[in-house]
Structures are given as C-alpha cells and as structure tokens.
A and B are shown apart, each in its own frame.
Chain A
Amino acid sequence: MSNKMHIKLKVNGKDEEFLAEPRELLIYTLRERLNITGPHIGCETSHCGACTVTIDGKSVKACTMFVAQASGKDITTIEGLGGPDDLHPLQTAFKEHHGLQCGYCTPGMITRAAKLLEENPNPTEDEIRFGMAGNICRCTGYQNIIKSIQAAAAEMNASKEAAE
C-alpha cells in the first residue's frame, strides 16, 4: 500500500487533486507541484512570511503546514488576488508608494495585507504595523509598505462607498 495521501485542494479557484507523501509541505506543493511560484521561501520556520497564503479566510505561512493539513481547503495566493487586467488595489498601491524593492517579500506581504484589510477595513498605523508583524521585509524599512496599505484601504473604502 502506498504511503501517499489523497489530497484535494482548491487553489486560486482551481480544483487540484493528487497523491502526496504525508510530509510534503504546502509551500512545496504550491511551488514545485503546481508551479505557483508567487509565494516564496524565506526561513522555513514561520518567521518571515514570504510564503503567506490565505486558507479558508485565514493568513497562513505555507512553509510550515503540511499539504495534508490543507486538504479540502480553499487556498488563495498572490496569483489569485489580481493579474494584469484586474489588479488588486494593494498591487497598485505598492507600486504607487514604493512599497517594495527586491520584491521577494512582496507576494506574502500583499497577500497578508489583503486579509488584514478584509478583517479591518480602516486600520490605524499601529494596527497595520501589528497586523503585518508576521511578514519581514529586509529592503524597505516598512514605512512605504504602511503607506501603501493605507492608500489601498482608502481606495477600497472609496470604491465601496461609491458602489453603495
């Protein structure tokens, strides 16, 4: 009998089904098996957040979760947030406010920020700093990341109001 597990996932709206060893980490599944390379590996100890994805409405660090634990769940990565024709306001704001430099932390950073703004559409600067503390950036010193998130929040709230 195979020691592989039967895994079913939904990633960025697409159903995936495969056999995987119990020890396979979710980040490995995403990057190596599914070729979703937006989430990155930075530390493999849950500290840096470069691998952040959203699983069933929660921010999760994919480097320390087994894919078996994610079976049956709905996963969104940076690729699922927006693309060339439908950019997420955060993707626009990070460019507009120079919220990135080398870009390595950016997918995790934006994925986490999107979740943060969903939970708290009007965060204070301190709430953003606290809410983003699980994502490390080595380049920017965070100041422009905070600015980007604030700008995206304002933009999202304005378009929500306009729609109402």
Chain B
Amino acid sequence: MKDEVTREDRVANLKGMGCSRKRVEDARFTQGKGNYVDDIKLDGMLFGDFVRSPYAHARIKSIDTSAALEVPGVLAVLTADDLRPLGLHWMPTLAGDKQMVLADGKVLFQGQEVAFVVAEDRYAAADGIELVEVDYEELPVIVDPFESLKSDVVLREDLVAEDGSIPAGAHGPRKHHNHIFTWEAGDKDTTDEVIANAEVVAEESMYYHRTHPCPLETCGCVASMDKVNGKLTLWGTFQAPHAIRTVVSLISGIEEHNIRVISPDIGGGFGNKVGAYPGYVCSVVASIVTGKPVKWIEDRMDNLMTTAFARDYWMKGQISATKEGKITGLKCHVTADHGGFDACADPTKFPAGFMNICTGSYDIPTAHLEVDGVYTNKAPGGVSYRCSFRVTEAVYFIERMIEVLAIKLNMDAAELRRINFIRKEQFPYTAALGWEYDSGDYHTAWDKALKAVDYDGLRAEQAQRVEDFKAGKTRKLMGIGLSFFTEIVGAGPVKNCDILGLGMFDSCEIRIHPTGSAIARLGTISQGQGHATTFAQILASEIGLPADSITIEEGDTDTAPYGLGTYGSRSTPVAGAATAMAGRKIRAKAQMIAAYLLEVHDNDVEFDVDRFVVKGAPEKFKTMKEIAFAAYNQAIPGIEPGLEAVSYYDPPNMTYPFGAYVCVMDIDVDTGVPEIRRFYALDDCGTRINPMIIEGQVHGGLTEALAVALGQEIAYDDMGNVKTGTLMDFFLPTAWEVPNYETDFTVTPSPHHPIGAKGVGESPHVGGVPCFSNAVQDAFRPFGNTHTNMPHDHWRIWRTANELGLHD
C-alpha cells in the first residue's frame, strides 16, 4: 500500500481557480462578529447628525442654533458659515461640479444638509436637531427636467455669470442656466441619413425611472483627528478608500500621509458608497473642532432621500432596419435628470458614463447618441446601481428598442436578435459608438438559452393562452421576457478612464512568509463579493500555495497599495489581473530560487501546480513551500532575500461580459400581479474563478433587477417631496416575491486579461431589468402594447390592462 499524492490531489489541495471554495468571510458574519462602521466605538466618541431641509427649493434667511446648543449633550452645531473659513462649505463632486456641504444660502432638494449637530449620543443629537431654527423662503420647485430647460427659475445662481451669461461647465458649453452638459458619441449626420432612407423605422420614448441602490447598511463614517500626532483616521463605508483619502487631502489640506482611510466590513454597496458625501466632511471638521472622534451614520430616510440615486434617464430612440430585419442605424437622445448638483460617479471623460454601449450586442453599422444633463430640485447622485456607469440604462434602451422593432416588423424578437448579433469571428469588434468589444460568442449562448427553455414551446403555449383569454377561459396572460446583454466593465484603461485625475488602474501586493503562507493586499474593497475567498484562489493557482494559506486584506490605505476601489465590476478585471501579475512576479523569482536549489539552469525548471520540477525529471523538484523558506534562509548569489511582489495593473481594454436571459411570467389582468414562473440566466463572464460565488452574484443581481423592474422607485411629487423615503414605500423584494432562478453559463475568456476573467457581479442586474420588463410588455403585446414605462408595479400593470380594454 502506498499513500501517493496524485497531481489531482495537489491541484485540489490548492483550492485554486475554478473550484467552489467556501467563503472565508462567513465565520465572522454568521456569528455576529462582522465589523461594520457602526460597530466601531472609540473613547469619547461623539455622534453627528443633520438638520435637513423640508423644502425642495428655498432660500435660507437665517439659522438660529442657540436653543439647540442649550440641549444637554449637544456640543456644537456646524453651519455653512462655520465651514466657509475653511473653504469646506462646498466640495468638488466626482462629475466636475461642486456641491454644498451645508446649505449655503439656499437649498436645492428635500433632505439637503443644512446644519450638523454634534452631540454625546444619538438621542442628544436628535434633540438638538429639533431645536435648530431655520427660516426658509420657499422658491418655485422644478422636478421635471424638460420644464427645467424652459424655466426662468435659476437653480444654480453660482453657475451664472454676473452679466447673466452661462459659462461653460466641466463638460463643455451649456445651453441654458439649468443645463449641465451635452455629450455626444457617433456620427449624427450619417445616422440621420440612414434612418431617413430606411425601409423600416421604429421609434419609442421611454423613461428609466429614478431609483436607489439601498444597501441594507446605510452610509456612515467615524472621523478621528489625533491632534497630538496630526493624524486623521477615517473609517467609513467607502467603495474606494484610496480615492477618498486623496479627496479628503485635497479639500482639507491635510497631507495625504497624515490621513488613514479604513473601509471595515461593508454591508452592501451597489454604487451607493462610491461618492463623497457631506457627512464625511462634516465628521472630519467636527472631529478637528472638538478634538474627539465623531461618528455619522445615515438613517434609512437620509439614505433614500439624499445619497446616490440611480438612473432617471428620459430616453428617446429610433432604430432602422431592412424589411428582413437587418438593423441599419440607431439613434438615442437622453434627457438626464441629475438633481441639484451634478454628483454622478463616472470616469471624468464620461459625463453619461458608458451610455455609448447602447448599440448592445448587435452589429449596428451607424449610430448616434446625445445626452443632455439637467439640474432639477432633486437629490444629487447618478451612481451606477449595480452596473458599470450607466450600462443598465444603455442595455435597457437597446433591449426595448429591439422589442419595439420586432413589433414593427411583425417578427419574433428572438430571431431579430439572432440575425443582428455581432458574430463570433467579428471580435475584437469596434462598435459604431467607439468601444472595442474584446470577445464574445453570442449565437452559441442565445441558442443554448432558447433551447434550455424550449422557446418554441413557450411561444405556442403563449398563443394558446391568448386564445383562452379571448374565449374567457382565463384571466391570466403569459409574457415571455427576453434579453441579451453585453456589459462593459473593468474601468479601465488609464488612457481614457480616471476619477478626479486618478487613473483607474488597480493593484496587488504579495508577501510570502518563510513557512509558505502569504498575505496579499489589494486596492479594492469587498462589500459582499467575497474577495478574501476568490482573490486567494487566483493566487493559489498562480503561486502554488493553498488558498487556505493566503490572507487577503483590503480597505486600509496605510497598508494596501493604491487602487481605485470596487464598483463597475472592476475588481476581478483590474485588481484580479494585478493579483495574477504580482503572483507571476513571485513565481519568476521562485523559479530562480528553485533552479539554484536544484543546481540547474533557470530555464531547466518548470512550474507544476505547487512546485518547480526539473524538466524531464519530475522526481526532482522543490515545492513552493520549500522555495519560500529558502528565500528567507539562504544567501543565493544574485538574488535578494525575501519573496514579495507588487503589481499595478493598467488594463489595455475593458472587459465585455455577456449573457442571455429568459423570463416567463403569468400576469393577472384583474389584480395586476405578475407571477414569475421561470427565470433562466446564462452568463458568460469569461474564466470562472468560483462557480458558487458567481451563482450567488447572479441570484442577487437578478433580484435587484426584479426590484427595479417591478416596483422600486424614488418618486417625487410636484413640490419636490420624496414619496418613497422609507422601506414602507420603497420596494425591496422579500423571499416571498422572489422566484428560484436557473443559472447556466458559457465560457468565452477575455483575450487581454491575464486569467481571461471578465467580471460578473453586475451582469445579472444589467441583463435582468430589461428581461423582467420585456416579460410584462410581451404579455400585452397581442393586445396592442408596444411600450409602457417601468416600474411595473401592480397598479401600473393593472392600468396597462385597463387602457388596453382588457377589463371591458
């Protein structure tokens, strides 16, 4: 009997790429030992909270803080006047605009921060807030961006010159005092010409409503200024801790080496925690003023009303085709409601994000996109809610336009997609709006999806259902929702992607310990994606040490290498690539050490799973564990001691994950209740690192898509009052409303990524929203529906049925 360890055993022992490794994060989370920002307690810590505006547009005549300061436990009340001498009453936004930290003479949206009460605890702060007296003079409110562009009411006096002229903004000339920018991509003249001469043109206007990422944990921070050492430590729910450090340094004047930003465990982000918010600035100032640590934590209403809305795009499209359905041109105009300040979180050169991916998965020869950003009396934000910079809007637009065109052509929408897909051999494919898609095999994915759900069978069943409905045998319609999406993620190449001038590379630093375990630190930060689990898997495969022997650490700017953080599905495409590249540097040095130990030339050894072996003599080898020890205990000629590496990775291109989704829905026309009978999701995210985590990401993204498509919105009334400020009104699906999903995959690796991975966290949201929406719309197609706006809540579905005469 011999107990031989096989090569397969050695591979399995690593728990490297491709296996469903259980998450190392879960022990602490399941035992209530996570460390979220609100769990942080420091000696003498104070609590800050905001007086917020009840009005959407008003001038502030006076603020009286005297009564509040009498409240036991209240230490200070900050207003714009206190911040002005520091130059901190306004702050720059990520979109090249500026934003009031505390109301400077007026307010522009309901819930805007007016004063910051600092107290010994939350109750005292709340008591203080009640007693701050603000005298407001109401101003006319504008909640409609189209009206805003015609209105005489000036929302931002600070952006109008003294002679009344309108200076250019960060993104070029402005057409009106409430206009922010016009952004264009593509060839307008040719597109107009193609559409004017086309055999078939379909047109549609659609509103992608305002919503909110609403992670279960709200935003917050703890600022602690150590006046003895001159060091500021800032813990917070930051999706980009290093960028926050740089921003804090730039606006506060504190040297960057004296600022330490720490993102502890984060309770979901989904884009909400990318931006810089007044709460952070006020906490820092309050800590400097009081000399004590200051905590600020949003409540849910603050969160929904003020930090980081998403979407709010009014999109108008034209799509042209031949009679046979070959698409010839696409035109899109967007009126983008950005609220009172332009605080969109996009790379600097992309004021409408990557909306110019709106040609989707289709070979469309000519296209033109124009986006107009507009100020209104709504909260600022415009973040990418589980998507990469407006890709959700782009994919929704094209996947609705395809459906509308199919109706116009009286053609099956699955077939229309198939004949227009970019073909496998066309990759790398340069789209009409400029992007170079790295790889794809859309036809294979589409055919697999349609076959899996028996698409033809479903259509036959649907036709029968329509007959039955007309015959009075049922009151339920059946909808088949299709979507095929291409994402653009992993921003991005430093040559065209930066945030506040910071190139969007990312990083990984590895230290191998003498006994053959390791720590790796990255510039990203997990918010539930399981980085500590999956990045260790990438490394295990690259350096041949078990994932269980590798600690992954993120989120502390004093220890982690500089990186741009986690959003836009960039962690795996960018930091994951950096991890692989740093691992390869380790391996290169290990190869030299191994060759020395084995007394052969460097090129005479090769890497095999967890060791270097002499070529042609596999019994002669040194394991990575042995090599690690040798790196620390032997003087090897020409090689420095130690085994460490760092990589800063600037990706040559974005990655383009894609997928094919099908949703089958029954809709009760009398109640408007949709029942999701089946949801099939095929994702191609390139190389798969951890199938269990991929599946979990898909389930979650689809559920957030269900929410947005079927009811979740931030709604305002005409006075600018937020109507959906609590979870009573803002729809978050429960286990009762969510179906079981079927997941599937194809694998088309990214050709330029070191391990071929593309990113997956946001795909299901991007592809899911149009799929759910298309299912609702498809159910009503036989009765003359071409398009209705989301969210398709019960009332709106009922109204659609009613308008189509189905209740008669």
Q: Which residues of A contact B (CB under 8 A)?
A: 21, 23-24, 28, 31-32, 35-45, 47-48, 50, 77-79, 82-84, 87, 90-91, 94-96, 98, 100-107, 110, 128-130, 132-146
Q: A21-B123, A78-B31, A91-B31 are in contact. Are A103 and B528 (CB under 8 A)?
A: yes
Out of A44, A104, A130, A136, which one reaches B732, CB within 8 Å? A136
A62 → B minimal CB distance (Å)? 13
Q: Is the CB of A140 within 8 A of B699?
A: yes
Listed from nearest, the 7 A-B pairs whose CB atoms lie closest are A38-B32, A103-B29, A104-B267, A102-B528, A141-B699, A101-B528, A78-B32
CA distance A135 to B31 in the complex (A): 17
Q: Is the CB of A45 within 8 A of B300?
A: yes
Collect the chain A residues with CB atoms within 8 Å of residue B41's CB: 35
- For chain B residues 726-754, which have a beta carbon within 8 Å of chain A? 726-728, 732, 734-736, 738, 740-741
B700 interface residue, CB < 8 Å from A? yes
Q: Is the CB of A141 within 8 A of B32?
A: no
Collect the chain B residues with CB atoms within 8 Å of residue A140's CB: 696, 699-700, 703
A143 → B minimal CB distance (Å)? 5
CA distance A21 to B31 in the complex (A): 30
CA distance A48 to B735 in the complex (A): 12
CA distance A105 to B215 in the complex (A): 10
CA distance A94 to B736 in the complex (A): 19
Q: Is the CB of A104 within 8 A of B738?
A: no
CA distance A133 to B738 in the complex (A): 10
Closest residue of A by beta carbon distance from B122: A28
Q: Is the CB of B31 within 8 A of A98?
A: no
Q: A37-B39, A48-B727, A141-B738 are in contact. Are A98 and B29 (CB under 8 A)?
A: no
Q: Is the CB of A138 within 8 A of B527?
A: no
B446 interface residue, CB < 8 Å from A? no
CA distance A43 to B727 in the complex (A): 7
Q: Is the CB of B699 within 8 A of A138?
A: no
Out of A83, A128, A138, A142, which one reaches B31, CB within 8 Å? A83
Q: A45-B728, A48-B727 are in contact. Are A104 and B22 (CB under 8 A)?
A: no
26 example contacts (A-B, Cβ-Cβ < 8 A) are as follows A23-B123, A38-B33, A40-B36, A40-B267, A41-B38, A41-B297, A43-B727, A45-B726, A47-B726, A47-B728, A47-B732, A48-B732, A84-B31, A90-B30, A91-B30, A95-B27, A98-B23, A101-B268, A102-B217, A102-B265, A102-B268, A103-B28, A103-B528, A104-B267, A135-B735, A138-B704
A148 → B minimal CB distance (Å)? 10
Q: Is the CB of B32 within 8 A of A138?
A: no
Q: Is the CB of B217 within 8 A of A129?
A: no
Q: Is the CB of A141 within 8 A of B216?
A: no
Q: Is the CB of A129 within 8 A of B736?
A: yes
Q: Is the CB of A138 within 8 A of B36?
A: no
Collect the chain B residues with CB atoms within 8 Å of residue A95's CB: 22-23, 26-27, 30
B505 interface residue, CB < 8 Å from A? no
CA distance A161 to B700 in the complex (A): 35
Q: Is the CB of A132 within 8 A of B735?
A: yes
- For chain B residues 113-127, which have a beta carbon within 8 Å of chain A? 121-123
Q: Is the CB of B268 within 8 A of A98?
A: no
CA distance A30 to B466 in the complex (A): 56
Q: Which residues of B contact A (CB under 8 A)?
A: 22-23, 25-34, 36, 38-39, 41, 121-123, 214-218, 265-268, 270, 297, 299-300, 527-530, 692-693, 695-697, 699-704, 726-728, 732, 734-736, 738, 740-741
A39 → B minimal CB distance (Å)? 7
CA distance A79 to B39 in the complex (A): 14
Q: A133-B734, A143-B738 are in contact. List 13 more A-B contacts (CB 8 A).
A: A23-B123, A24-B123, A37-B39, A95-B26, A95-B27, A101-B528, A103-B30, A104-B216, A135-B735, A138-B732, A139-B528, A140-B696, A142-B699
Collect the chain A residues with CB atoms within 8 Å of residue B297's CB: 41
Q: A95-B30, A138-B704 are in contact. Are A43 and B528 (CB under 8 A)?
A: no
Closest residue of B by beta carbon distance from A147: B740
Collect the chain B residues with CB atoms within 8 Å of residue A44's CB: 299-300
CA distance A38 to B34 in the complex (A): 7
Collect the chain A residues with CB atoms within 8 Å of residue B696's CB: 98, 101, 139-140, 144
Q: Is the CB of B700 within 8 A of A139?
A: yes
Closest residue of B by beta carbon distance from A50: B216
CA distance A133 to B735 in the complex (A): 5
CA distance A114 to B233 in the complex (A): 39
Q: Is the CB of B30 within 8 A of A106?
A: yes
Collect the chain B residues with CB atoms within 8 Å of residue A78's CB: 30-32
Q: A47-B728, A77-B32 are in contact. Are A101 and B735 (CB under 8 A)?
A: no
Q: Is the CB of B727 within 8 A of A47?
A: yes
CA distance A130 to B737 in the complex (A): 9
CA distance A134 to B702 in the complex (A): 20
CA distance A94 to B214 in the complex (A): 23
Q: Is the CB of A100 within 8 A of B30?
A: yes
Collect the chain B residues with CB atoms within 8 Å of residue A98's CB: 22-23, 692-693, 695-696
Out of B22, B26, B122, B735, which one reaches A145, CB within 8 Å? B735
CA distance A50 to B217 in the complex (A): 9
CA distance A146 to B734 in the complex (A): 12
Q: Is the CB of A142 within 8 A of B738?
A: yes
CA distance A138 to B512 in the complex (A): 36
Q: Chain A CB within 10 Å — which of B25, B297, B300, B702 has the most?
A: B300
Q: Is the CB of A96 within 8 A of B700?
A: no
Q: Is the CB of B703 within 8 A of A142?
A: yes
CA distance A139 to B25 in the complex (A): 15
A82 → B minimal CB distance (Å)? 7
Collect the chain A residues with CB atoms within 8 Å of residue B214's CB: 138
Collect the chain A residues with CB atoms within 8 Å of residue B29's CB: 100, 102-103, 106-107
Closest residue of A by beta carbon distance from B701: A141
Q: A102-B528, A103-B528 are in contact. Are A94 and B699 (CB under 8 A)?
A: no
Q: Is the CB of A139 within 8 A of B268?
A: yes
Collect the chain B residues with CB atoms within 8 Å of residue A94's CB: 26, 30
CA distance A103 to B696 in the complex (A): 13
Closest residue of A by beta carbon distance from B300: A43
Q: Chain B CB within 10 Å — which of A24, A94, A98, A135 has the most?
A: A98
Collect the chain A residues with CB atoms within 8 Å of residue B22's CB: 95-96, 98
Collect the chain A residues with CB atoms within 8 Å of residue B697's CB: 101
Collect the chain B residues with CB atoms within 8 Å of residue A129's CB: 735-736
Q: Is the CB of A146 within 8 A of B735?
A: yes
Q: Chain A CB within 10 Å — which of B29, B528, B728 has the most?
A: B29
Collect the chain A residues with CB atoms within 8 Å of residue B703's CB: 140-142
CA distance A45 to B727 in the complex (A): 7
Q: A95-B26, A140-B699, A141-B741 are in contact. Are A104 and B34 (CB under 8 A)?
A: yes
Collect the chain B residues with CB atoms within 8 Å of residue A128's CB: 735
Collect the chain B residues with CB atoms within 8 Å of residue A146's CB: 735
CA distance A68 to B30 in the complex (A): 29
Closest residue of B by beta carbon distance from A126: B736
Collect the chain B residues with CB atoms within 8 Å of residue A32's CB: 121
Q: Chain A CB within 10 Å — which of B23, B31, B728 has the most?
A: B31
B20 → A minimal CB distance (Å)? 8
Closest residue of A by beta carbon distance from B38: A41
CA distance A50 to B214 in the complex (A): 14
CA distance A107 to B216 in the complex (A): 13
CA distance A45 to B301 in the complex (A): 10
A26 → B minimal CB distance (Å)? 14
Q: A42-B217, A128-B735, A146-B735 are in contact. Are A82 and B31 (CB under 8 A)?
A: yes
Out of A23, A96, A107, A138, which one reaches B268, CB within 8 Å? A138
Q: Is the CB of A102 within 8 A of B32?
A: no
Q: Is the CB of B300 within 8 A of A102?
A: no
Q: Is the CB of B702 within 8 A of A138?
A: no
Q: Chain B CB within 10 Å — which of A31, A40, A42, A130 has the most?
A: A42
A25 → B minimal CB distance (Å)? 9
